[in-house]
Amino acid sequence: MTDTSNISSLTAQLGKFDEVINALPPISDWNPELSGVMDMRIKKDGGWWHEGELIKRDKLTRLFSSILKKEEDEYFLVTPVEKWQIQVDDKPFVVQLAEVVEKGGQKVITLMTNVGDVIELNSVNRLYLDNEGLPFVEVRSGLMARLHRNVYYQLAEFAIENEQGQFVVNSAGENHTLG
């Protein structure tokens, strides 16, 4: 029987990020001059579009996501010598998978984005609510991920109501506001 009990084994079975290098380049050290505006857009559903066409290759979107940088409210694809501004409709990433496991006697929630980033909710990696009360999480370096509706409902099963009337989930001993 195949192991489908955790995010890593599930993605390995899917082969979605096979042969993708998980080490991220040092984009915080790359500060070239603006090269221009690229006709690339990340839609609210996490789809990456180039010149009006959806990029269908997961490995290509993973590659682009590894060189995505946010400066103030603008997004750029950067290399050591180029910097291209792109459009992001909402958050650049979407959390598509969630896993709840016991570690050291505590419940720990692990999230995976549409581009393969894995985030463990804890005191450093927290859920936040936007102005509309929708949850999101920081993935890395100011880049955020919105929770997919299915993940939201999955986490809602574990939510409890706190004294302030908010629904929270506990991960690694920390409460995270779900809504």
Bigger pLDDT: 10 or 153? Answer: 153
pTM beyond 0.75, yes or no: yes
CATH number, span 27-88:
3.10.540.10
Region of poorest pLDDT, from 17-31, 39-53, 61-75, 154-168? 17-31
Sequence ranges of the chain with CATH classification 2.30.270.10:
93-177
104 band by pLDDT with thresholds 50, 70 and 90: confident
Sequence ranges of the chain with CATH classification 3.10.540.10:
27-88
Q: What is the pLDDT of residues 117-140, one digit of tens each?
A: 999 999 999 999 999 989 999 999
Short-list 115, 73, 81, 122, CA closest to 97: 115
Domain 93-177 CATH (choose: 3.90.180.10, 2.70.98.90, 4.10.320.10, 2.30.270.10): 2.30.270.10
pLDDT at 145: 97
Residue 81, amino acid: V
95 band by pLDDT with thresholds 50, 70 and 90: very high
Residue with tokens 């590894």: 66
